[in-house]
Amino acid sequence: MHYFIACVIISGMKKAFTLAEVLITLGIIGVVAALTMPALIAKNKEHIRNQQFKKAYATISNVLQLMQADSDSLPNCYYRNGVYYASYFTECPQFIDEFVSKLKVIKYCNGNALTGGCIPKYNNVPAGAGCDGFAQSSIFNSNPALVLADGTIIIIYKSGPQLISMLAVDINGKKPPNMWGHDIFVFTIDESPSLRLIPYGGTCQLLEDGGVTSQYMVESVIYN
């Protein structure tokens, strides 16, 4: 009987993993995790960004549709078929007031957006962008900015004293990275023929390293 038990124990020991085998296995698992985790994290961040983009885009688009449904004569403050003319923006203060009134705004800064707590500190316009209305001096001190109930930030373009229906939208609010083309995207409000939000493709579509355009986001997230 004792002999039989001893044989069973020895047999079980032969089938067990050695310490070296366990360490090798753990090492392989660690290498695989090190190779795959960055890709998984990046994929998760992209998914979150896409969902935030969809929500912000839908919120603003729905408000524009509501504005048009509620008014037979909207104030002049929109592009027409993507074309800018000064005469299209003669009533932007009234337009923006109506736009803001239909959003769930928890904070509104009509100038001094940074010190007023509506926006975080963004990087300056990348060199050569040629878009002074989204420079730090304008965004921090002049441009109207509003914070929605879900944290989304909308900054309205201002060229000197004139408001223009161009929006910089920070889809995740004050959370990082707060970078152009990463979580800040630029749109225009266009009437062609119905009022709608369209991605901006000109010099005011600012991009920091690794960023993508609002056009790319609309095509890959909204219409894909």
Of 126, 111, 107, give the one whose Cα is nearest residue 174. Answer: 107
Structural domain including 197 reads 32-222
Within a domain: 13: no
Residue 56 contacts by C-beta under 8 Å, 6 or more apart in sequence?
152, 169, 171
The Cα 162–Cα 209 span in angstroms is 30
* Residue found under tokens 């004569």: 73
Q: How many domains does the chain have?
A: 1
Position 57 in a domain: yes
Tokens of 132: 């002074």
Does residue 160 fall inside a structural domain? Answer: yes
pLDDT at 10 over 50: no
Looking at residue 152, its pLDDT comes to 98
Give the sheet arrangement for strand 162-170, strand by strand: 105-110, 144-148, 153-159, 162-170, 184-191, 195-199
Local structure of residue 212 (DSSP, 8 states): -
Q: Please tell me the number of Cα atoms within 13 Å of 130 on its side-chain side.
A: 3
Classify burial at 107, counting beta carbons within 10 Å of its beta carbon; exposed 0-12, middle 13-18, buried 19 or more.
Answer: middle
Would residue 6 count as lying in a domain? no
- Arithmetic mean of pLDDT, 206-220: 93
- Whether pLDDT at 12 is above 60: no
List, for residues 58-87, the tens digit of each pLDDT value: 999 999 999 999 877 889 999 998 888 888
DSSP β-ladder status, 105-110 and 144-148: antiparallel
8 Å CB contact between 61 and 196: yes
pLDDT value at residue 50? 95
Work out the average pLDDT over 91-105: 95
On whether residue 168 sits in a domain, the answer given is: yes
Kindly give the pairing relationship between strand 105-110 and strand 195-199: unpaired
- Please give the Cα distance from 199 to 185 (Å, whole number): 8
169-172 long-range contacts, Cβ below 8 Å, gap at least 24? 169/56, 169/60, 170/119, 171/49, 171/52, 171/53, 171/55, 171/56, 172/49, 172/52
In a domain, 25, yes or no: no
**pLDDT tens digits, one per residue of 114-126:** 999 999 999 887 6
130: confidence class by pLDDT, cuts 50, 70, 90: low
Q: What is the pTM of this model?
A: 0.83
Task: Identify whether 38 is part of a domain.
Answer: yes
pLDDT in tens, 102-116: 999 999 999 899 999
**Considering the domain boundaries, does residue 48 fall inside one?**
yes
